[in-house]
Amino acid sequence: MTVRTLIIGGARSGKSAHAERLAISSGKKVVYIATARAGDEEMQQRIAHHRQRRSIDWFTVEEPLALGDAIERHAAADSVILVDCLTVWLANLLFFEQRDFPEVGVIDASACFSRQRAGLLQVLEHAAGDVLLVTNEVGQGVIPQGAVSRWFVDESGRLNQDVAAVCDRATLIVAGLPVSLKG
């Protein structure tokens, strides 16, 4: 039986470590899909930290934009896919055009964003094998100032809701502790 699991939590909540433990305990071949790009030194350090924790037996795919395609390409009944993370992927999609954003007003997403987001949700509904999706909960804080920040928070919340709807399980990680939300 295929199980899709959303693992959501705040920054440094332990969500990635929890997802990694689930992948290991599955006993299946693990395909790790990394969405981050090493654009600066701080992100390089974060990526290095995640690489150190991964098993050398895991197959790693680096895919910053075409996440649905990567899942579809690598999903198999005898494997578990671990995506880390949807929030970074979303930022990649929202900001890949490197355009100037207004401080106030409505921001329209690119056609690429809409296409990739829809593709991910479609693939998740029919993916072969188990899928673990790590994401950040960014909407529990103060409403950010500035249109682009609010846009990012809003789109993160919408994505998390839509992914949770197609997942069989959802787990909130707080202080390293899993709290079952669904399944």
Catalytic residues, by residue number, are: 50
Calpha distance 125→68 (Å, rounded): 11
Calpha distance 47→30 (Å, rounded): 18
Calpha distance 92→119 (Å, rounded): 15
Our measurement of the distance from residue 88's CA atom to the centroid of its chain's CA atoms, rounded to an integer in Å, reads 7
CA nearest to 75, candidates 160, 2, 167:
2
CA nearest to 81, candidates 67, 66, 65, 64:
67
